């Protein structure tokens, strides 16, 4: 199939990658399928265990630059996670030295082959749909950033609800290096995370931001040693999976919407979300356990 011609990012040269980080823990494709019949299944590894769905980008030889097929599979997997009551948290990670080097531009049509509107259409239906799928996923999504996250790859991580990074990870707004405007919601996400001045600094210069600096700026929740990345991410995911799933989904919606709402709209949304949430079994369990002075046992319902 044709690879995405979106200019979401050109993969950085391989020498820019940091040292080898911890990869997945060896789990295979989702139980029940002994063989991978779809080639994309080997490029987006998928496991679900104990309420946690893990999606792993698996093209380490190109620092996990995303093809159009991979992008569509990720969007589909995130939609599946939203709809599956047995999935209560998602971890997004990758194999090898890179988390994601952005969109794979090899095979993209040349400027002579494009007509007006092509690029905007491809971005809307490609990179922007992917980021929206993360933002709109009804389950908490944790990014476990194991290496370089560049361009769209950086935005894929930053769109997640929580971002954990290995010490060797780094984030690069690579667009300016190629004479491009940021896409994949970069100019939307960054100012909301770190403010407009800091966002412009990253976008204007395109400097690599090491994990420790990313944490200081507020791009990352936690930095851990490379060898502890997946263990720590899984602990966080299992804590979320044991929580009140619908309440977390509604909380995620409230926080995300608040960034684009005035106070009146935000407070109205809050009251409506609480009204909806009080109809769930988990909310009733939470109140009952508080009254009985016991630990709640949430079921994600």
Contacts of 57 (CB under 8 A, 6+ apart): 43, 44, 64, 66, 70, 92, 93, 94, 95, 99, 100
Mean pLDDT of 223-238: 98
pLDDT at 94: 98
Q: What is the pLDDT of residues 70-80, one digit of tens each?
A: 999 999 999 99
Helix and strand numbers (H, E) in the chain are 11, 10
- CA–centroid distance for 76 within its chain: 13
Torsion of CA 38, 39, 45, 50, to 10 degrees: 10
pLDDT at 18: 36
Mean pLDDT of 84-108: 92
pLDDT at 248 over 90: yes
pLDDT band at 166 (very low <50, low <70, confident <90, very high): very high
- CA–centroid distance for 122 within its chain: 20
Task: Say which residue, 181 or 110, is predicted with more confidence.
Answer: 181
pLDDT at 20: 36
Task: Say if residues 254 and 182 touch (Cβ distance below 8 Å).
Answer: no
Q: What is the pLDDT of residues 11-31, one digit of tens each?
A: 444 334 333 334 444 443 444
Output the average pLDDT for the chain: 88
Task: Say which residue, 190 or 120, is predicted with more confidence.
Answer: 190
Alpha helices by DSSP H, 126-210: 127-136, 152-158, 186-194, 196-205
pLDDT at 208 over 60: yes
pLDDT at 31: 40
Residue 300 burial class via C-beta count within 10 angstroms: exposed 0-12, middle 13-18, buried 19 and up: buried
Q: What is the pTM of this model?
A: 0.85
Q: What is the pLDDT of residues 97-136, one digit of tens each?
A: 999 999 987 766 666 677 888 888 888 999 999 999 999 9
Structural class in CATH, domain 44-105+117-242: alpha beta
pLDDT at 3 over 70: no
Residues of the chain with CATH 3.90.226.10: 44-105+117-242
pLDDT at 27: 40
pLDDT at 40: 85
Query: DSSP labels for 50-100?
Result: TTEEEEEE--GGGTTPBPHHHHHHHHHHHHHHHH-TT--EEEEEESTTEEE
């Amino acid at each position: 199939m044709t690879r995405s011609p979106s200019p979401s990012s050109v993969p950085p040269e391989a020498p820019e990658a940091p040292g080898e980080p911890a990869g997945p823990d060896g789990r295979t494709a989702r139980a029940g399928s002994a063989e991978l019949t779809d080639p994309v299944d080997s490029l987006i590894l998928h496991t679900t265990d104990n309420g946690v769905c893990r999606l792993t980008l698996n093209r380490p030889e190109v620092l996990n630059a995303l093809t159009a097929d991979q992008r569509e599979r990720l969007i589909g997997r995130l939609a599946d996670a939203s709809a599956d009551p047995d999935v209560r948290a998602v971890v997004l990670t990758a194999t090898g030295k890179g988390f994601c080097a952005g969109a794979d531009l090899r095979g993209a049509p040349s400027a002579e082959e494009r007509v007006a509107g092509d690029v905007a259409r491809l971005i809307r239906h490609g990179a922007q749909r992917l980021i929206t799928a993360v933002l709109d996923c009804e389950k908490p999504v944790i990014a476990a950033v194991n290496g370089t996250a560049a361009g769209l790859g950086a935005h894929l991580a930053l769109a997640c609800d929580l971002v954990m990074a290995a010490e060797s990870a780094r984030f690069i707004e690579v667009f300016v290096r190629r004479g491009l405007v940021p896409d994949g919601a970069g100019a939307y996400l960054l100012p909301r995370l770190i403010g407009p001045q800091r966002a412009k600094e990253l976008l204007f210069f395109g400097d690599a931001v090491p994990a420790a600096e990313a944490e200081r700026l507020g791009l990352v929740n936690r930095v851990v040693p490379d060898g502890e990345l997946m263990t720590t991410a899984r602990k966080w995911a299992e804590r979320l999976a044991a929580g009140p799933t619908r309440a977390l989904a509604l909380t995620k919606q409230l926080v995300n919407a608040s960034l684009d709402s005035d106070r009146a709209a935000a407070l109205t949304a809050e009251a409506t979300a609480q009204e909806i949430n009080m109809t769930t079994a988990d909310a009733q369990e939470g109140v009952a356990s508080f009254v009985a002075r016991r630990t709640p046992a949430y079921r994600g319902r």
